[in-house]
Amino acid sequence: MPTNTDYKNLSYGPTTSKYLSVREKLGAVITALKLVTALPVLVLRALFSKRSKSGKSWVYQLRSRILYFLLSRVQPRQIGFLLGSPPTAVRIKLISKKLKTDVTIEDVGHGGKIHWWGERKGRKVLLEIHGGGYNLPIGEHHLAFFHRTQQRLKAKGMDVDLAFLEYSLTPTARYPTQLVQSVEALRYLLETCKYEPGNIILAGDSAGGALVLSVISHILHPHPAIAPLTLSAPLGGLIPISPWTSFSTAAQSFKQPTGYDVVMPWFVDIWSRWLVDHPSEPRSAQLPAADAYADRNKASTGGAVVNYTWDEYNQPSLASADWWSGFPVRRTLILVGEDETLRDSILEFAGVFREGAVRGGFGRAEVEVVLCEGEIHTECLYDTFLPGDPPVPGKMAESLWALCEDVFKQ
């Protein structure tokens, strides 16, 4: 099981399967074969272990143990190959056919695309920005969970449009590319699609959770590489699901892993370096020197190329409480899994964030932080790995559904 990474010898090249070495592919295959032999032991451990505090059956704990077994034995470059991850557009097309849903695609500029899930009514919209360390494409679990969310809302009389953002992935595209595309997606909803701000919910999981927070940072403090975005009224809702708010792995929740979670400390170390330059390390020669959208920055710096490093946009935990003054969202729900490695860093961020957002919000800002007992990183999404609705959905899913209902019923 890898625990330490030699960053000098790490490949920073493209991570799609055609760029992986034979050794990397073979290692992923061996890991999958090891799972086959280990499965009986994992089943027994799940059957006879203490019942999860989430109230879910042993089958859900088995799912988490399987994910941990696989992911704790690979490096980030191998994940897409191990899990068979096609590009975002391909995945959406495949799953839309499986779920008998029509999808239309619209270009929002700068390489970003919105995939509309089902018929668009044009009044209320939920925009999901997927996670995956900024490196992995959207997964079936993202699509299945938010499809389920849309269907639940419809059953309660709420027609809500559902949009998924396709953004460029690291290490080929680096910060602030993903932030540019996320901001432009929201701008497109407001200016082209003409949604009222109060009828928009921004949701994002993991890296996507950081991106929705970064979009708000840009609204409050325009990023020099991105055109400002002004709101006429507060957004309806913001839902960061297990947001990746810090690049540090020093938190206690990393040092005492539960053996169930899907985020390994070396994932954080590597993914963060693929996204943006580490402030105390030289950049790998395999990584671009600057983002693809630096032209706007050049105009304000006399033509100089800006080499980005850590800041409040790509690492929300660096922001002070005052940074969030004027917070332009009516309802915010931060979801945290009790058994996830990012737990402590998210909770620390959430305390600072809530202080600033509530104290200096644009209008009446409500911020709720929910610690979900017995749940792992973005667990509500992984529940869809099992067929049918879970008998016990878990606090993460139920809290998200409740906020969506409260915002969209108005």
Give the DSSP letter string of 279-340. Answer: TTSPPPTTS-SS-TT-HHHHHHTTTPPP-----TTT-GGG--GGGGTT--EEEEEEEEETT-
Longest CA pairwise span in the chain (Å): 65
Final residue of a structural domain among 25, 56, 80: 80
Note the Cα 290 to chain centre separation in Å.
23
Is residue 5 assigned to a domain? no
Question: H or E segment at 69?
Answer: helix 58-71
Residue 51's pLDDT is 65
Same domain, residue pair 179 and 312: yes
DSSP-derived secondary structure letter, 100: T
Residue 92 CB burial class (10 angstroms; 0-12, 13-18, ≥19) = buried
Domain range for 41 is 17-80
Residue 153's pLDDT is 97
Is residue 299 assigned to a domain? yes
Same domain, residue pair 65 and 102: no
Same domain, residue pair 34 and 180: no
DSSP-derived secondary structure letter, 73: T
d(CA 30, CA 25): 9
Let me know: does 132 contact 139? Beta carbons within 8 Å: yes
Measured distance between the N- and C-terminal CA atoms of the chain, rounded to whole angstroms: 50
Tell me how many domains the chain contains.
Answer: 2
pTM exceeds cut of 0.85: yes
> Strand, helix or coil at 172?
coil
Same domain, residue pair 46 and 164: no
Is residue 2 assigned to a domain? no
Same domain, residue pair 37 and 122: no
Q: How many residues does the chain have?
A: 410
Same domain, residue pair 332 and 397: yes
The backbone torsions φ and ψ at residue 41, rounded to the nearest 5 degrees and listed phi first, read -65, -40
- Strand 329-337 and strand 366-372: the pairing is parallel
Same domain, residue pair 99 and 227: yes
Residue 2's pLDDT is 44
The active-site residue, picked from 54, 168, 182, 206, is 206
Final residue of a structural domain among 80, 98, 129: 80
Is residue 9 assigned to a domain? no
Residue 191 CB burial class (10 angstroms; 0-12, 13-18, ≥19) = exposed
Q: Cβ of 7: how many Cβ atoms within 10 Å?
A: 13
pLDDT by position in tens, the chain (length 410):
444 455 455 566 666 677 788 999 999 999 999 999 999 999 998 888 776 777 788 888 899 999 999 999 999 999 999 988 899 999 999 999 999 999 999 999 999 999 999 999 989 999 999 999 999 999 999 999 999 999 999 999 999 999 999 999 999 999 999 999 999 999 999 999 999 999 999 999 999 999 999 999 999 999 999 999 999 999 999 999 999 999 999 999 998 867 789 999 999 999 999 999 988 887 777 777 655 444 444 444 455 567 799 999 999 999 999 999 999 999 999 999 999 999 999 999 999 999 999 876 666 789 999 999 999 999 999 999 887 676 668 999 999 999 999 999 97
> Strand, helix or coil at 19?
helix
Same domain, residue pair 63 and 92: no
Is residue 4 assigned to a domain? no
Question: The CATH number of the domain where 91 resides is what?
Answer: 3.40.50.1820
Residue 363's pLDDT is 63
DSSP-derived secondary structure letter, 51: P
Final residue of a structural domain among 39, 64, 80: 80
Q: What is the dihedral of CA 363, 165, 212, 276, to 10 degrees?
A: -150
Residue 289's pLDDT is 63
DSSP-derived secondary structure letter, 13: S
52 is a catalytic site residue = no
Same domain, residue pair 237 and 382: yes
Is residue 367 assigned to a domain? yes
Residue 397's pLDDT is 97
Same domain, residue pair 37 and 142: no
Is residue 6 assigned to a domain? no
> Strand, helix or coil at 68?
helix
Residue 361's pLDDT is 61
DSSP-derived secondary structure letter, 344: H
Same domain, residue pair 58 and 147: no
Same domain, residue pair 55 and 197: no
Residue 250 CB burial class (10 angstroms; 0-12, 13-18, ≥19) = exposed
Is residue 164 assigned to a domain? yes
